Chain A
Amino acid sequence: MPVSDSALMEPKSLSAETAADARLEIKNLNVYFGEGSERFQAVKNVSVSVQQGGSFGIVGESGSGKSTVLRAVCGLVESWDGEIDIDGAPVSHKRNKAFARKIQMVFQDPYASLHPRHTVDRVLSEPLKLHGFDGIDGRVLRALDDVGLGADFRFRYPHQLSGGQRQRVAVARALMLEPEILLLDEPTSALDVSVQAEILNLFAELRKEHNLTYVMVTHDLAVVAHMCDEIAVMQFGEVVEVMDVDAMRNSTPKTAYTQELLKASMGYDAEFFGDS
């Protein structure tokens, strides 16, 4: 089994064989907010590696820095250091249009991620125009079809759509540039349970169809268990554990924090809360 040097240097990256053909690799990522004495380090020395076609989950409680990792990867947060490699090539702090065609992101709140004055048509055709694609009409219709919305929805405004429909539009938008990696920032947490399942199934289908690599942030362990192959658990800006999904299902995590998290996800536990 070939073992790359970079994998050896990174104790927290997955295993040597996955690091070798990693699609997205994050090494020693630190993200800071604020300046001077108010400087706050939101992400500390995070290293993960996502393999081609994989689906990687990042879980943790609110404020653990998991969304910030995604925002640094896609370039929305610029105050980071460390290394982010895509297909082995490090990305710079300023991103270009070619980068946009590699990575796209689906946001948490479908009520906030669509421009209130733009029709679905404009939302979907804009990235195509920006990148000079041709056959825009056909692509827009196909994208709507891909995410299970009909052509009827094309000229609607976001306020004329339900939460699930909005999230489908947001997914379609992320796919317009035919990216290889999709960053999902709690894509179902703002939706009700039945719609959550629909959207998760949609993600699963699209992954197969378009050969996508997912990095998904969530605090919902059930979603992770359903969607992901590998999971990183974050706490206070650090990755405390990386495990595969079977380890999580079998509740055999190594660290105490992960065990707590798993226990908490099973619902209210009188013993855990120490009713005394």
Chain B
Amino acid sequence: MTTAPVKSNVPSRSGLKAWLSSDAPASRGHARAVQLYLGWLKLYENKLAFLGFLIIFSLVLIAAFAPLLATTEPNAQDLSKRLLAPGTSGHLLGTDELGRDIYSRLVYGSRITLLIVGIVAFTAPVFGLLIGTVAGYLGGWVDQVLMRLVDIFLAFPRLVLALAFVAAIGAGIESAIIAISLTAWPPYARIARAETLTIRNADYISAVRLQGAGIMHIIVGHIWPLCLSSIIVRVTLDMAGIILTAAGLGFLGLGAQPPEPEWGAMISAGRKFVLDQWWVAAMPGMAIFIVSLGFNLLGDGLRDILDPKKSQS
């Protein structure tokens, strides 16, 4: 890092750091880099949010390098070694009722969790944001129609709607994802609409209207950036709920199907032994707890980080 030569006449500070904390960036890319760096500093300063970030980052790493981290195949059965306690040689977190290594299953299960979380996080909030901002910005009958639709979706109990949907299109991880997305978007639409109503008549929106910008340009370029931070915060806070819903569907046998190492399905399988062999259910439960906690901690700190006003004081 110190090898970067200082080309400009920047006084003190090492080259990269000075370049990243410049208050008069020279180009668009530079300005963006400065903004990212300041956001990073803000995240780093907020210890709890940073802990959350580390947990999520580790989850991503574990999912990416699952084959390297796992000690056995996740579905390799060995009935002679069933229900071994945690710490038994070769089985850090014990084995389940079919003699499968719980640690390896958890490691591979992180992929499923990340898949669910990732897809839901990129579909439901985006859809909700679009519906909410369009409704809020256009108003009138468009608003009425869209928001009544939201009301209908909100009135359904989330898990029950997901259940009905899974029952209709068949059990499996994909239908669980679709079901969760379908039930998760309405709150985002509500938030986005409320935010849009507060800014739709702002002078800066009038100014861009005067420049001849189209409706979608205004919504995506001007209204979305202002709704985004509350949406992102809400997403990270919802992530825990999404993981739990996915686990719940798995627990009920409607999500991931055996032998897939989905965390909720693992808890479901372990409940038969929960009194005598507690670890079979407790270990995936712990994994769900840690990841949910990570998302909650990160979400709590993200609002400050996403606001450029706060990242520079």
Q: Interface of A with B (CB < 8 Å)?
A: 74-76, 95-97, 99-100, 103-105, 107-109, 112-119, 121, 126-127, 130-131, 151-152, 154-155, 157, 159-160, 170, 173-174, 177
B201 CB → nearest A CB, Å: 9
In the bound complex, CA of A121 to CA of B26 (Å): 11
Can you give 17 contacting A-B residue pairs, CB < 8 Å? Answer: A76-B206, A76-B209, A76-B210, A97-B212, A99-B212, A103-B210, A105-B206, A107-B206, A115-B208, A116-B226, A116-B309, A117-B226, A121-B31, A126-B213, A155-B31, A157-B308, A160-B312
In the bound complex, CA of A104 to CA of B210 (Å): 7
Q: Which of chain B's residues have a CB closer than 8 A to the CB of A112? A: 202-204
Contact B217–A113 (Cβ < 8 Å): no
Contact B213–A130 (Cβ < 8 Å): yes
**B139 on the interface (CB 8 Å rule)?**
no
In terms of DSSP, what is the predominant structure of the interface of chain B? helix
A273 CB → nearest B CB, Å: 35
Contact B210–A96 (Cβ < 8 Å): no
A144 CB → nearest B CB, Å: 12
Q: Which of chain A's residues have a CB closer than 8 A to the CB of B24? A: 151-152, 155
Contact B210–A74 (Cβ < 8 Å): yes
In the bound complex, CA of A141 to CA of B207 (Å): 20
A121 CB → nearest B CB, Å: 7
A190 CB → nearest B CB, Å: 11
Render B181-216 as a binary contact track against A, CB cut-off 8 A, 1 for contact: 000000000000000000000111011111111000
Contact B207–A100 (Cβ < 8 Å): no
A231 CB → nearest B CB, Å: 25
Q: Which of chain B's residues have a CB closer than 8 A to the CB of A155? A: 24-25, 28, 30-31, 34
Looking across the interface, which residue of chain B has its beta carbon closest to that of A157? B308
Q: A112-B202, A114-B204, A115-B222 are in contact. Are A121 and B209 (CB under 8 A)?
A: no
Contact A100–B28 (Cβ < 8 Å): no
